[in-house]
Structure 1
Amino acid sequence: MTNDEILDDAELFLARTSLRLIGPLPGECLVCYLARMLGEWGCRGPRFIDHYRDTVAPRATALRERLSRMGACCCDCEVFLNVYELRREPPPIGGIERILMEFDEDLDPDEFGDGFDDEFGDDPTSSGGERPPCQGVRRGSTQPCANWQRQYRARYW
Structure 2
Amino acid sequence: MTVDDGVRALEIELAELAADLTAVGWHECVLCYVNRMVVAHGCDGTLRWLRRWRQSSAPRATRLERRAGQVGAYCDCELFLNGWDVTVDIVRDESTGDEYWPDTVTGCRGVPAGVTQPCSLWERLNGATRW
TM-score between both structures, scaled by the size of structure 1:
0.65
Residues 1:130 and 1:16: Cα distance change in structure 2 (over 3 Å):
same
**Paired residues of 1:132 and 1:147 also in contact (CA < 8 A):** no
Q: What are the ranges of 5 or more consecutive residues in structure 1 without an aligned counterpart?
A: 89-115, 124-128
Counterparts of residues 126-141 of structure 1 (less than 5 Å)? 129-141=103-115
Counterparts of residues 1-157 of structure 1 (less than 5 Å)? 12-44=12-44, 45-72=46-73, 74-87=74-87, 116-118=89-91, 121-122=100-101, 129-152=103-126
AA aligned to 2:90 is D
AA aligned to 2:126 is Y
Q: Distance in 2 between matches of 1:55 and 1:132?
A: 20
Q: Distance in 2 between matches of 1:7 and 1:132?
A: 37
Q: What are the ranges of 5 or more consecutive residues in structure 2 without an aligned counterpart?
A: 93-99
Shift of 1:151: 0.6
Q: RCO higher in 1 or 2 (8 Å CA, sep ≥ 6)?
A: 1
Q: Which has the higher helix share?
A: 1
Q: Deviating runs (4+, > 6 A) in structure 1?
A: 1-8
Residues 1:7 and 1:138: Cα distance change in structure 2 (over 3 Å):
farther
TM-score between both structures, scaled by the size of structure 2:
0.76
Q: Deviations over 1:52-101 (max 9, x none)?
A: 111111111000001111221x200110001110115xxxxxxxxxxxxx
| Count of residue pairs the alignment pairs up | 119
**Paired residues of 1:70 and 1:82 also in contact (CA < 8 A):** yes
Q: Any idea what SS the aligned residue of 1:25 has?
A: coil
